[in-house]
A and B are shown apart, each in its own frame.
Chain A
């Protein structure tokens, strides 16, 4: 009996460690590549012990070969556009979800389905019309244009996610506030909002990751002034041969913020991901 449970423990730990290695290995490889010089990167067999260098990180920020390689700018764009897009999609998503959850809306089910359909087409399918529209409206390669676009494509998701969260908050809380002398808006701010923090955090993470990772629209609609990291990085692959060291350094810096943010809100995220699966 005792032996059995010890064996079980050892096996499950071994399994977990194996999984962890599988999942974390790419991240390790990325970091290692970013810290190697060109010779070490290309070495066969791969080197596991080497003297780390920060040259690649220096290069991507302070390289002299034109503004295209100035990743400080692209990072800034990524941060500004993703943050704003996340903020607006969560803001509008929450308000829309509240209305759809609480009020009589004519054709509510159809409306919800319509909102869902905005997520059904792959980006590539809408690329050409959006490209033409953006060109005519002078929105191409602008920060506000990209924020608008990312907000829009995140909105379908945040509305659905927030609605399921708000549906779970008993309506009596607001009714209590309404009877206690608060207006609908105050009741929303003071009663509903504090209770939907988990939902807001979860939808914010998803929106942020989606905007942060977005590649297709970014590579076609931006050239310079509103270019984010993913399209900028792809250009680097093509132009001067494969600069694996710099690519790895960029990619490493690029995953850090999302990693940090996800870690910070991991509890909410877990609840968001398993939402509805566990009965309270």
Chain B
């Protein structure tokens, strides 16, 4: 149980800034997911918290105490590596007992605790096997058991599920989250998989190119992305983006495509405050596929398009719509079927419309 703080943390590798002035607080017992594409600095941040990397600037705090100069061993954290890092020369049992052996824990107590975590993870039958002889799922469980057996203040996990197949990954995701909710141990979890992040996190911190983009609950991040990057990264299929100019007089957006200009009336029920916008300001209109509503008949303030292709995913249909160079994706229930090249009209749900400044890429 601990509160972890990052204050203005900077980590450089030569000329590259891997972590760029990141400030973040992880609450006691919270499950925080660090999400971002590869090379965004999430793993470096995690390793800095663990003490495996020295930071160049800023502070790392555990319960308000700076730990920048403390060795990893003194920080009382458990680290789950992407490749598990199970000691190949030790059996599963000894791998799990390994962290306890340095703490002068009596043998009987070691045995009791190893059995305890192993019964929780249901891996008591593989004690005498070496890592090589274990399936990927069991290796993962042994790595987890090794992290849990010590009862540390914090779990740090670096893409622990990325080597598992899809089915097992989904199962382990639930199992991990269940254990974390039970133990209430502060957990920082690194992943590039947005589904994993959305499914497991109390809060998500999204990073890109070393910069922290947004921190929030999965719902907040999905519904109110702070930047174009977040809007694009979260959600599959990702948000629709339309370049446009703000027309203050008519309170509308001018969307250009192949020479023609569509005038899109901004609904008054839009949730963003647009009073400070300049006339003619370059904006990006973002709208999630589920907020693109298809109509087969002309509607007011609708955009006329034609259907390019429909992906039938079973639980939902994804329609790709086009008007000249404008491309829109709509998500509907599987019952909605249209013909290829059919003329359709789309209507953008007012609550779903998000406007971004094109220059700063930040939400208005």
**B79: which of A170, A175, A183, A195 is its contact (CB, 8 Å)?**
A175
Q: Is B98 in contact with A177, judged by CB distance below 8 angstroms? A: yes
Query: What bracket does the count of chain B residues touching chain A fall in?
Result: 20 to 34
Interface residues in A, total, Cβ within 8 A: 16
Complex CA gap A183/B72 in Å reads: 9
Cβ < 8 Å to B, chain A residues 168-216: 170, 172-173, 175-183, 186, 191, 194-195
A171 to chain B, nearest CB (A): 9
| Complex: chain B residue closest to A194, CB-CB | B89
Q: Is B52 in contact with A175, judged by CB distance below 8 angstroms? A: yes
Cβ < 8 Å to B, chain A residues 106-125: none
A181/B99 contact (C-beta < 8 A), A175-B52, A194-B89 known: yes
**B78: which of A170, A179, A191 is its contact (CB, 8 Å)?**
A179
Q: Is B87 in contact with A178, judged by CB distance below 8 angstroms? A: no
Asked whether any CB of chain A lies closer than 8 Å to the CB of B129, the reply is: no
A195/B81 contact (C-beta < 8 A), A179-B52, A180-B102, A181-B103 known: no
Q: Is B52 in contact with A178, judged by CB distance below 8 angstroms? A: yes
Q: Is B89 in contact with A179, judged by CB distance below 8 angstroms? A: no
**A176: which of B81, B89, B102, B103 is its contact (CB, 8 Å)?**
B81
Asked whether any CB of chain A lies closer than 8 Å to the CB of B334, the reply is: no
> B-facing mask of A249-271, CB < 8 A → 1, else 0?
00000000000000000000000
Cβ < 8 Å to A, chain B residues 80-135: 81, 83, 85, 87-89, 98-99, 102-103
A194 to chain B, nearest CB (A): 4
A200 to chain B, nearest CB (A): 13
Asked whether any CB of chain A lies closer than 8 Å to the CB of B150, the reply is: yes
> A-facing mask of B60-87, CB < 8 A → 1, else 0?
0000000000011101011101010101
A195/B88 contact (C-beta < 8 A), A178-B73, A179-B52, A180-B146 known: yes
Complex CA gap A177/B102 in Å reads: 10
**B50: which of A179, A183, A194 is its contact (CB, 8 Å)?**
A179
| Complex: chain A residue closest to B89, CB-CB | A194
**Chain B contacts for A178, CB-based, 8 A:** 51-52, 71-73
Complex CA gap A224/B55 in Å reads: 60
Interface centre among A177, A183, A195 (most CB of B within 10 A): A177
B52 to chain A, nearest CB (A): 5
**Chain A contacts for B156, CB-based, 8 A:** 179
Q: Is A186 in contact with B102, judged by CB distance below 8 angstroms? A: yes
B103 to chain A, nearest CB (A): 6
Q: Is A179 in contact with B83, judged by CB distance below 8 angstroms? A: no
A175/B81 contact (C-beta < 8 A), A180-B150, A186-B102 known: yes
Complex CA gap A186/B73 in Å reads: 12
B332 to chain A, nearest CB (A): 46
> B-facing mask of A208-246, CB < 8 A → 1, else 0?
000000000000000000000000000000000000000
A173/B72 contact (C-beta < 8 A), A178-B52, A179-B50, A181-B102 known: no
Q: Is B87 in contact with A179, judged by CB distance below 8 angstroms? A: no
| Complex: chain A residue closest to B75, CB-CB | A179
A271 to chain B, nearest CB (A): 15
Please list the 3 inter-chain residue pairs (A to B) with the smallest Cβ-Cβ separation, ordered nearest first.
A180-B99, A172-B85, A176-B85
Q: Which residues of B contact A (CB under 8 A)?
A: 50-52, 71-73, 75, 77-79, 81, 83, 85, 87-89, 98-99, 102-103, 146, 150, 156
Q: Which residues of A contact B (CB under 8 A)?
A: 170, 172-173, 175-183, 186, 191, 194-195
* 8 A-B pairs (CB sep. < 8 Å): A173-B87, A177-B87, A179-B52, A180-B73, A181-B73, A181-B150, A186-B102, A191-B87
Apart from the given pairs A177-B87, A194-B87, A195-B89, 14 other A-B contacts in the complex at a CB distance below 8 Å = A170-B85, A172-B85, A176-B85, A176-B146, A179-B50, A179-B73, A180-B98, A180-B99, A180-B150, A181-B103, A181-B150, A182-B73, A183-B73, A194-B89
